[in-house]
Amino acid sequence: MGTSVQVTPLCGVYNENPLSYLVSIDGFNFLLDCGWTDHFDPSLLDPLSRVAASVDAVLLSHSDTLHLGALPYAMKQLGLSAPVFSTIPVHRLGLLTLYDHYFSRKQVSEFDLFTLDDVDSAFQNVTALAYSQNHHMSGKGEGIVISPHEAGRLLGGTIWKITKDGEDVIYAVDFNHRKERHLNGTVLESFVRPAVLITDAYNALNSQPARRQRDQEFIDTILRTLKGDGSVLLPVDTAGRILELILILEQCWGQLHLTYPIYFLTNVSSSTIDYVKSFLEWMSDSIAKSFENSRDNSFLLKHVKLLISKAELENVPDGPKVVLSSMASLEAGFSHDIFIEWAADVKNLVLFTERGQFGTLARMLQSDPPPKAVKVTLSKRVPLVGEELAAYEEEQERIKKEEALKATLIKEEESKAAVGADIPVGDPMAVDGNSSHVESDAAFPSGNAYRDILIDGFVSPSTSVAPMFPFYENSSEWDDFGEVINPDDYVIKEEDMEHASMAVDGDLDGKFDEGAASLILDMKPSKVVSSELTVQVKSSLSYMDFEGRSDGRSVKSILGHVAPLKLVLVHGSAEATEHLKQYCLKHVCPYVYAPQIDETIDVTSDLCAYKVQLSEKLMSNVRFKKLGDYEIAWVDAEVGKTENDMLSLLPLSTPAPPHKSVLVGDIKMPDFKQFLESKGIQVEFAGVGAMRCGEHVTLRKVGDASQKGGGATIQQIVIEGPLSEEYYMIRNYLYSQFYSL
C-alpha cells in the first residue's frame, strides 16, 4: 500500500482566514504554514492549540502574516516546538514583517501577544533551505524528503514538495505563474501527477487584466493624482509585494524623469531593502542577468527614499508625493495614521494593491460603493505625566528594588568569573587579542537597553542578566589623597564609548522612530491614549490587483496540467472553493476534497505497488522505444526470487502469450491535420472533433485527453470510410503517430 497521508485544516478553509494545515505522512506531522491576521485574534488559533504539541515540523511558504504570523505566538503560548523550515528570504523577510507588526501594534495598544524576543527565538529554530534542495528528515520522519520550489508572488515564496517512497505530496498555495519584474513564475507546472496536491481556491473566481495594461493603469492613476497636486498613499505589506511595486515605480520614474518624491515608510524599511539587495539569486532571471552583466543591483534604489518613522515623513517638504506604507489592512501602522490625515482631502488618492483582509478598514474602503465616512480609533503612545507618572514611578521603584537585590546576588557571583570569561568570548579572528576584548565588551552596556530589538545573529553577551547597567562592587582603595586612581580605567572607557555607539547603530538596523519607538524600547513610562473619530473619506479610493496570485483561469489550467491523483482545496471563499471543486471534479481528477476545519480527511493513495528486481537476462532482451523523456517497452516476465528474498523478474521460459497491442502517443488533431496536409492530403475540420480527410475518410476523436487533465480515459479515435486505397493510406499515417507495443 502507499504512504498514508491525512490532511486536517486548522484555519483558512471556506474563507479567507489565514492559512494553517496539518498534514500527517505516515504519522509524521507537518504543520503547513502558521498564519494569523492583522487583527491577531487568538481565537483563530484554537484548532492549532489543540495539535501544536504533536507537530513534528513546520513548513513556511511565504513571508507575510497570513502564512507565518502566528509562529512566535504558537511557539511561546501554544507549545509548538518543532523545527521550522523555510527558504532564506522567507526567514529574513518574515522576521522583518513581524518586527514591523510588533512596532505598529505597540504604538497604538498594549500589545502583549508576543514580544520581539519571542519573534527572535521563534525564528532561531528555522532551518533555511535553497530552492530544490532535498532535505532528508531524520528520526521519526526517516525516509521523508522535503524540498522547497519557486512559487512566485513573494520573494522566496515556496511550494513544498514532500516525498516519501516516490510519492509526492505538494503544498502549493498563493503561487503565481506569471513572470514578474523581480520574480520568476512558479515551477508548479513541472510537477506531474503527484499523489496529493494541496492548493488554494482563493483566486478561483478572479480574473486579471494583462500585466502591461494593469501596470499602465497603475502608473496613470498615480500620475493623475500627483499632477492634480494630490498625494498618493499605497497601503502595502512590509516586505512582500512591495518589492514589485517599488520596481514598477523605480522603472517608471527613471523612464519619465519624474521628480515627485516616493517614500517607502515602514519600521524596518532600510533593513528590508538591505536584505533584499543580497537576495539576487532568488529573483528573476532578468535581475540576475543585469547584475551579472553590469553589476547593476536593481534594488539600489534611485527614486524611492526609505523612511523608518513618521516624523521623518513630516519633515519632508509639502507637495504631491507617493507614500508606500505598511499595514495593507490600514488597521494599524503608519498607513493607518496617514490615511486619517489624508482622507479628508479630495485631491489625494488611496490606492490599494491587494484585497484587504476580512473585517479590516481596508476591506471596508474597498467595498462598492465606498463608505462616505468611517469611524477610526486614533491611538497614540504618550509619556506619563503628573500623578500618573508618580504612581508609575512608585510602582517601578518597588519592582526595581526587588530586582536589584536579586541582581546583586547574581552579579557578585558572576563578576568573579567575568574577568576570565570575557576573553574566550572574544573574536577568534582578531589579529591581536586587544581589539576583541573591546568589541565584546562594547555591546554590553548599551546593548542591554536594546535587547528586545537585537537582530538575528547577534548573540547577547553571556554576562547580561537583566536590562541594567553593569554593576560592580566598589572595592576601591583609599590613600591619604583619597581614592586611588588608575588612569588606564579612563582610557579604556573612552574607547568603549566609541565602539559602543557604533555597535548600537548597526544592531538597530538604522534608527527607529525616535519619538515613539524610544517610548516602546526605553521603557519610559508611557500609556496609550485612544480617541474615536469619524473620518470623512473625500479622497479618491482605488483598488488594483497587484497581489501576484495566478488568476482563476490560469489556476484551472495549471491544475489540469499537474493532474494530481488527489486534490485538496483550502483557503478561499466558500463560493470560490465550491466552484473550483466542481470544476476539478469534472476536468482534473475524480478525487477532490475540500475539508472543513478540524475535519481530517484521508488522502492515502489507494495505489498498490511492489518492488521487483529486473534481472540482467530480462533486460538484455528488452527493446525500449523512446518517447520524450520516457523509454517504454512491453515486458513479459516470470517472477522469481533473488538470494536476498527480493522478487525479481526473469525471462519467460515459455513463449509469451500474445497481448492486446497498445498504441502509445497523444494525437492532437490540428497537428495531425498539418501532418496529413504535408503529405498532400486534403484535410478540413467538419463539426466537433471530426476531420474530413481526402474524399471520403472521416477521423473523429471521442475522448480528448488534454481536456481531462492528462486523460481520465483512454483516447478513442474513430476512422471511417469506404474501402479505398485512401483509407489505408490515411490509416497508415495515423499509425505512424503512435508507438505500437
Residues 278-307 that bind another protein (CB under 8 A): 278-281, 288, 291-293, 295, 297
Residues 575-594 touching another protein, rule: CB under 8 A, are none
Are residues 333 and 327 in contact, defined by beta-carbon separation less than 8 angstroms?
yes
Distance, in Å, from the CA atom of 85 to the CA atom of 33, rounded to the nearest integer, reads 10
Among 43, 611, 670, 688, binds another protein (CB under 8 A): 611
Which member of 523, 622, 674, 686 binds another protein (CB under 8 A)?
A: 622
Q: What is the footprint of another protein within residues 33-62 (CB under 8 A)?
A: none
Q: How far is the CB of 61 from another protein (least distance, A)?
A: 18
**Residue 507, interface with another protein (CB under 8 A)?**
yes
Q: Give DSSP secondary structure letters for 441-502.
A: HHHHHHHGGGGGGPPTTPPPPTT--SSS---------EETTEE---HHHHHHHHHHHHHHHH
Closer CB to another protein, 187 or 258, in the complex: 187
Give me the phi and psi of 705, to 5 degrees please: -70, -40
Binder of another protein out of 197, 349, 503, 521 (CB under 8 A) = 503
47 vs 640, which CB is nearer to another protein?
640
Three-state DSSP at 39 gives coil
The grid cell for 297 is: 543591483
Strand order in the sheet with 57-59: 126-129, 84-87, 57-59, 28-32, 20-25, 5-11, 601-602
CB of 414 to another protein, least distance (A): 25
Distances in Å between the Cα of 86 and the Cα atoms of 63, 68, 117, 184, 719 are 9, 10, 20, 18, 54
CA trace torsion 658, 660, 661, 664 (10° rounding): -140
Number of residues in contact with another protein, rule: CB under 8 A? 102
* Member of 405, 484, 688, 723 binding another protein (CB under 8 A): 723
Return the number of other C-beta atoms located less than 10 Å from residue 662's C-beta: 12
Count of beta carbons in the 10 Å neighbourhood of residue 542? 18
Per CB under 8 A, the list member of 131, 392, 675, 733 interacting with another protein is: 131
Question: 247: which residues sit within 8 A by CB, 6+ positions away?
Answer: 181, 182, 298
686 touches another protein by CB under 8 A? no
Looking at 405, 419, 429, 688, which residue binds another protein (CB under 8 A)? 429
Stretch that binds another protein, among 242-250, 349-357, 540-548, 612-620 (CB under 8 A): 612-620
Q: Which is nearer to another protein, 369 or 628 (CB)?
A: 628
Cβ closest to another protein, residue 189 vs residue 598: 189
Contact 221, 544 (CB under 8 A): yes
d(CA 201, CA 595): 13
664 makes contact with another protein (CB under 8 A): yes
Q: Shortest approach of another protein to residue 722 CB, angstroms?
A: 5
Rounded least distance, CB 697 to another protein, Å? 9
The footprint of another protein on residues 508-547 (CB under 8 A) is 509
| Spatial CB neighbours of 503, under 8 Å, sequence gap ≥ 6 | 439, 442, 443, 446, 447
Under the binding rule (CB under 8 A), the answer on residue 410 touching another protein is no
Contacts of residue 337, Cβ cutoff 8 Å, sequence gap at least 6 = 310, 378
Among 424, 466, 718, 736, binds another protein (CB under 8 A): 718
With beta carbons less than 8 A apart as the criterion, state whether 64 and 237 touch.
yes
For residue 425, state whether it binds another protein (rule: CB under 8 A). Answer: no
C-alpha cell at 623: 527493446
Closest to another protein by CB, 69 or 461: 461
Closer residue to another protein, CB minimum distance, 358 or 735 = 735
The smaller minimum CB distance to another protein, of residues 131 and 392, is found at: 131
Q: Least distance in Å: CB of 509 to another protein?
A: 8
Show the cell assigned to 458.
547577534
Per rule CB under 8 A, is residue 132 in the interface with another protein? yes
Whichever of 147 and 206 has its CB closer to another protein, that residue is 147
Burial state string for 294-309 with b = 16 or more CB within 10 A and e = fewer than 16: eeeebbebebbbbbbb
**Measured in whole angstroms, how far is the alpha carbon of residue 9 from the centre of its chain?**
18
At 114, which amino acid appears? F
Question: Binding to another protein (CB under 8 A): which residues in 184-223?
Answer: 192-193
User: Which one, 258 or 664, has the nearer CB to another protein?
Assistant: 664
Of 9, 158, 16, whose CA–CA distance to 94 is shortest? 158
Tell which positions 551-570 bind another protein, by CB under 8 A: 565
Nearer to another protein, 205 or 288 (CB): 288
CB of 455 to another protein, least distance (A): 7
Report, in Å, the least distance between residue 129 CB and another protein: 7
Residue 384 CB, shortest distance to another protein, in Å, is 34
Binding-site member from 50, 211, 277, 375 for another protein (CB under 8 A): 277
Which string of x and - marks every residue 688-717 that binds another protein (by CB under 8 A)? -----------------x----xx--xxxx
For 151-221, strand residue ranges (E) read 158-164, 167-172, 196-200
Whole-angstrom distance, CA of residue 604 vs CA of residue 1: 9
Contact pattern for another protein over residues 82 through 101, marking x by CB under 8 A = ------x-------------
Other beta carbons within 10 Å of 683: 20
Contacts to another protein from residues 447-466, by CB under 8 A: 455, 457-458
CB of 257 to another protein, least distance (A): 25
Q: Give the pairing of strands 20-25 and 5-11.
A: antiparallel
CA distances from 684 to 670, 676, 717, 733, 738 (A): 10, 10, 17, 16, 22
Q: Pattern of binders to another protein over 312-351, x per CB under 8 A?
A: ----------------------------------------
Which residues between 623 and 662 bind another protein (CB under 8 A)? Answer: 624, 627-641, 647, 649, 652, 655-662
Tell me if 490 contacts another protein by CB under 8 A. Answer: no
Neighbours of 470 (CB within 10 A): 16
Q: What angle do CA 715, 716, 720 make, to 5 degrees?
A: 150
**Which of 166, 209, 228, 590 is close enough to bind another protein by CB under 8 A?**
166
